[in-house]
Amino acid sequence: MYEGAPYHPFPNRWWQMIEKYGINIFYTAPTAIRGFMRFGDAWARRHDLSSLRILGSVGEPINPEAWKWYYRVIGGENCPVIDTWWQTETGMHMISPFPTDPLKPGSGGLPFPGIEMDVVDEEGSPAGVNKEGYLVIKTPWPAMVRTLFNDDEKFRQQYWEKYPGWYMTGDSARIDEDGYIWVIGRVDDVIKVSGYRLGSADIESALVSHPAVAEAAAIGVPHEIKGNVIHAFVILRDGQPKGDDLTGELRKHIGHEVGPIAKPEIIQFVDKLPKTRSGKIMRRVLKAQAMGVDPGNISTIEE
């Protein structure tokens, strides 16, 4: 296990270790993958990564663009990408493809054997094929959480009250025609613009699909007329020039990929994003920065 700066002294730290120690299972977060994409293919290609046989992804939904880069450049198109979904509270993987399953870039695959999951609407009815809704777990599982420390009431309210008997994950998702689950993100990360509900993960995925973009984060900030507008933070790939022309191009790209309503009001180019040590983007810190308020407790921030 290695915990430390992946880009120091050069952005080949991890690939160097894979080659040196013959690592065969590599498990990391989508944010890290997108961070390496920013430096191009050359840093990884100078190392022998042929010992790898399984690639893993965890921590947040992985966008198709990052999945494909991971599969092609790091796995040499020989390693399945096992995109796992779980929570601290679940204590085990709940959604995970098997290496023998057909893989879909961006999907976590099917529920783990013995686990029954669904995507439901506000009333608890199945949302339907490719319809966004709330991700719930319908059956008990061996590692399930029993309570929150010294707070049984919060445990009941947060996880069990909305749909009695079902565990409320707090994530939004959709299920496709093959039963594969596509996790969109935290329900709290939904941005409501002029009455339309937009997932921050959809906007971020669309931004990263542009060849100039390495990483992105989208938040909603209050607006007098629209309720909220989208403020996007973007890290560009090495060598990409910033400017109004690129801003306009990215807004147009979002309009094409997601829809005109999803065009960010503000696109801010940054050199890095605030992340936890496990690689998750801290959107509340970005929101506090955009609104000029105190971000609160940032003890879990990476740096």
Residue with tokens 């010992």: 51
Average pLDDT value for residue range 216-244: 87
**Vertex 279: Cα angle to 272 and 77 (nearest 5):** 100
Domain boundaries, the chain: 13-83, 117-185, 194-291
pLDDT band at 195 (very low <50, low <70, confident <90, very high): low
Helix (H) or strand (E) holding 253: helix 244-257
- List the CATH code of the domain at 13-83: 3.40.50.980
Pick from 173, 184, 191, 242: nearest CA to 212: 242
What are residue 171's phi and psi, to 5 degrees?
-105, 150
- The encoded tokens of residue 288 equal 């506090």
* Residues 18-52: tens digit of each pLDDT: 999 999 999 998 888 988 988 999 999 999 999 99
Q: Name the H helices within 38-112.
A: 42-45, 64-69
Q: Does domain 117-185 have CATH number 2.30.38.10?
A: yes
Identify the CATH class of 194-291: alpha beta
- The answer to whether 237 touches 221, Cβ cutoff 8 Å, is no
The answer on pLDDT for 189 being more than 90 is no
The answer on pLDDT for 53 being more than 80 is yes
The per-residue pLDDT for 201 is: 81
SS3 annotation, 140-176:
CCCCCCCCCCCCHHHHHHHHCCCCCCCEEEEEEEEEC
The answer on pLDDT for 303 being more than 70 is no
Could you tell me what percent of the chain has a pLDDT over 90?
62
Strands 54-57 and 25-28: parallel
